Amino acid sequence: MDWKLLVTTFGLLFLAELGDKTQLSVISMSAKSGKPWPVFVGAVGALAVVTLVGVMLGGVITRTVPSHYIRYAAGGSFLLLGGLMLSGKL
């Protein structure tokens, strides 16, 4: 087990997801239903499946596309989305 990679991944995702729309919707669902445990289990299951899909696609992509192109595409996507958000088009 690569503990450094595990802790780095956990830390980055934890910080990135604080206060995002998923967390806000889970807070809302838990408050509205008054049943936090089913909301927790459902949210964990959904996030696990989404993460699994991302990891699997990442594994497939890295076999065919060099990693530096993936970094450029990811960086460009973030810049594009940020620009669209700032301009009010997204």
Q: Is residue 8 part of a domain?
A: no
Domain extent, residue 88, equals 35-90
Contact between 17 and 42 (Cβ < 8 Å): no
Q: Quick check: 77 pLDDT over 90?
A: yes
Q: Is residue 20 part of a domain?
A: no
Q: Is residue 13 part of a domain?
A: no
For residue 90, the model assigns a pLDDT of 78
Q: Is residue 53 part of a domain?
A: yes
Q: Where are the alpha helices (DSSP H) in 1-90?
A: 3-17, 21-33, 36-64, 67-87
Which structure tokens are listed for 73?
């595409």
Helix (H) or strand (E) holding 1: none
Q: Is residue 80 part of a domain?
A: yes
For residue 19, the model assigns a pLDDT of 82
Domain count, the chain: 1
For residue 17, the model assigns a pLDDT of 84
> How far apart, in whole angstroms, are the C-alpha atoms of residue 65 and residue 72?
11
**Per-residue model confidence as pLDDT tens digits over 12-54:** 988 988 888 888 999 999 999 999 999 999 999 999 999 999 9
Q: Is residue 18 part of a domain?
A: no
Q: Is residue 5 part of a domain?
A: no
Q: Is residue 77 part of a domain?
A: yes
